[in-house]
């Protein structure tokens, strides 16, 4: 046994009878003063009184709870407790919270119940805004439990009578549908029942994309990290999601396949598991669903699955004579923010009121999100047609970007055009068309043909190196091709495996 460890253990056991009695009394006092519970991940929490009609929710194993214990101990006994005394109380509270306390959901910034949405103001009094179909109000003892992560900043107390068009004057959106789409994303951040779209702001330097991202993010979830540097691992993404409601990254130069998939999972509800320390088999699983905001100079979102969830907004360069300093814009924004927040809360209350009456003739991708935006439209003075038109323009631009990003788009379209001109008519082997104009392509021959149709520099592209890679890319852009009237289907018979390519109605 290590001598130092033995000495430390002996010292901790040599507590005086007075200290032991005082520790037991303090543990009982703490148990009576707090409400102990645990979350679905079996993490213990304590509701700690801070004063009249004010309480805080602390994770029992957190530094914040230990500090509260020390402060309360000092008030009761006029001495500072030893580390051993604090640890004993923490362990006791943690055990009681897990084994005797109820299981309750703990929320970050936004909480949703069947009849209300709560927005945590993150102030020292632990107040929140309760939003209902009848309106909104600031409450001091919300019926839901929030946790505070390091870096979260307080929101201003919202003020009534504001107008969200004041925000539009600060943002560099030149087209009406861009404003509609930006605010649609903003409204979606104040709910937790549907998947979130990914807001992508891109434009040349001097277009105001970072400033726009900061304003949109800070209206709901200000944070010391603001728009963080690009992540390098999935773990980095999950750490941000644990500590912030809106996950934002600034100035992305590219999005890897892995990061693209992670962002999609985060927008819909991602699970992330890691092995617990000092164990071989136990895992800790974290599940998050978060609004995501990205800024970049170029169109870095190119994969179809991410684009399908994206709101893509291009900000034009601001002419020199119209530029304003960032400090001037942000000062004006800070002045307006209480009224802007109040105006948005009024819109959210209207969305809660109107949501049960919203019916969609056709269910688009992310239908729950779209219903929510339609429900908010009335309070904004928008028509359903205006929202639908903005969404249609966004989908069309995104579809064009997805097709442009794929190396297979141009040769596949060209191949079909050649077939329509009769290039393969009457052939019985290889590339051939039937009487309906459907082009049949054996898989290997299709890959070799497409490789010949691209520039020489692109012939070594990974998509054209193997049949599996080609098939995966075809599957990825099938939906995008269909929207321009090109149908690519798998064709399997007893004699060959390949593809059918034909014209079809766009969808």
User: Phi-psi bin for 437: left (phi > 0), alpha (psi -120 to 50), beta?
Assistant: left
pLDDT beyond 60 at 143 = yes
Scan for tokens 């505070």, then name that residue: 148
Which sequence spans correspond to the domains of the chain?
18-99, 106-146, 165-403, 406-503
In sequence order, which ranges of 199-233 are alpha helices (DSSP H)? 209-218
Q: Per-residue pLDDT tens for 204-219?
A: 888 889 999 999 999 9
pLDDT beyond 90 at 260 = no
For position 505, what pLDDT does the model report?
Answer: 67
Helix then strand then coil, in percent of the chain rounded to 5, is: 45, 20, 35
Q: Which of 8-22, 41-55, 129-143, 338-352 has the lowest mean pLDDT?
A: 8-22
**Residue pair 420/507 in contact by the 8 Å Cβ criterion:** no
Per-residue pLDDT, averaged over 491-500, amounts to 78
Q: Quickly state the pLDDT bin for 38 (edges 50, 70, 90).
A: very high
Cβ neighbour number for residue 160 with a 10 Å cutoff: 12
Backbone angles phi, psi at 433, to 5 degrees: -120, 150
Cβ neighbour number for residue 369 with a 10 Å cutoff: 23
Most confidently modeled range among 11-25, 256-270, 380-394: 380-394
For position 272, what pLDDT does the model report?
Answer: 63
pLDDT beyond 90 at 37 = yes
Alpha-carbon gap, residue 245 to 189, rounded angstroms: 9
Alpha-carbon gap, residue 156 to 162, rounded angstroms: 13
Per-residue pLDDT, averaged over 363-372, amounts to 88
pTM of the model: 0.86
Per-residue pLDDT, averaged over 191-216, amounts to 91
DSSP 464: G
pLDDT beyond 90 at 197 = yes
Per-residue pLDDT, averaged over 319-344, amounts to 92
Mean pLDDT for the chain overall: 88
Greater confidence (229 vs 343) lies with 343
Q: Which of 40-49, 145-154, 262-271, 463-472 has the lowest mean pLDDT?
A: 262-271
Q: Quickly state the pLDDT bin for 446 (edges 50, 70, 90).
A: very high
Domain 165-403 has CATH 3.40.50.300: yes
Whose CA is closest to 212, among 168, 255, 155, 247?
Answer: 168
Whose CA is closest to 200, among 181, 225, 172?
Answer: 181
């Amino acid at each position: 046994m290590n001598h130092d460890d033995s000495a430390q253990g002996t010292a901790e056991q040599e507590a005086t009878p007075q200290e032991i009695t005082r520790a037991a009394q303090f543990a009982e006092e703490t148990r009576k003063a707090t409400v102990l519970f645990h979350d679905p991940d079996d993490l213990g929490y304590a509701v700690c009184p801070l004063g009249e009609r004010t309480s805080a929710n602390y994770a029992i194993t957190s530094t914040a709870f230990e500090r509260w214990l020390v402060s309360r101990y000092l008030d009761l006994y006029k001495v500072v407790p030893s580390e051993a005394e604090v640890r004993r109380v923490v362990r006791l509270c943690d055990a009681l919270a897990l084994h005797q306390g109820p299981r309750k959901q703990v929320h970050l910034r936004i909480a949703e119940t069947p009849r209300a949405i709560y927005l945590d103001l993150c102030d020292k009094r632990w107040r929140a805004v309760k939003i209902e179909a009848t309106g909104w109000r600031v409450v001091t003892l919300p019926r839901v439990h929030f946790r505070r992560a390091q870096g979260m900043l307080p929101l201003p107390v919202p003020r009534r009578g504001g107008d969200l068009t004041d925000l539009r004057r600060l943002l560099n959106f030149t087209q009406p549908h861009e404003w509609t789409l930006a605010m649609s994303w903003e409204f979606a951040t104040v709910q937790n029942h549907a998947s979130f779209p990914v807001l992508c702001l891109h434009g040349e330097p001097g277009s105001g994309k970072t400033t726009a991202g900061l304003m949109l993010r800070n209206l709901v979830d200000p944070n010391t990290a603001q728009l963080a540097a690009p992540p390098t691992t999935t773990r980095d993404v999950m750490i941000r999601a644990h500590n912030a409601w809106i996950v934002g990254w600034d100035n992305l130069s590219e999005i890897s396949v892995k990061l693209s998939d992670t962002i999609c999972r985060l927008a819909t509800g991602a699970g992330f598991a890691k092995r617990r320390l000092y164990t071989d088999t136990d895992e800790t699983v974290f599940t998050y669903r978060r609004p995501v905001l990205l800024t970049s100079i170029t169109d870095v979102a190119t994969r179809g699955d991410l684009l399908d969830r994206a709101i893509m907004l291009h900000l034009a360069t601001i002419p020199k004579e119209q530029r304003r300093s960032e400090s001037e814009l942000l000062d004006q924004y800070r002045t307006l923010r209480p009224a802007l927040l109040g105006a948005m809360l009024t819109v959210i209350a209207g969305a809660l009121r109107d949501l049960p009456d919203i019916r969609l003739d056709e269910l688009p991708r992310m239908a729950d999100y779209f219903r929510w935006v339609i429900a908010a439209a009335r309070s904004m003075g928008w028509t359903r047609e205006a929202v639908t038109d903005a969404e249609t323009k966004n989908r069309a631009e995104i579809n064009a970007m997805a097709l442009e990003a794929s190396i297979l788009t141009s040769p596949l379209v060209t191949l079909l055009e050649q077939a329509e001109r009769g290039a393969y008519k009457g052939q019985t082997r290889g590339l051939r068309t039937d009487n309906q104009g459907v082009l049949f392509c054996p898989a290997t021959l299709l890959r070799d043909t497409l490789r010949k149709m691209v520039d020489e520099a692109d012939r070594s592209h990974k998509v054209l190196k193997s049949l599996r890679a080609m098939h995966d890319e075809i599957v990825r852009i099938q939906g995008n091709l269909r929207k321009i009237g090109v149908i690519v289907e798998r064709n399997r018979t007893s004699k060959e495996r390949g593809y059918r390519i034909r014209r079809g109605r766009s969808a």
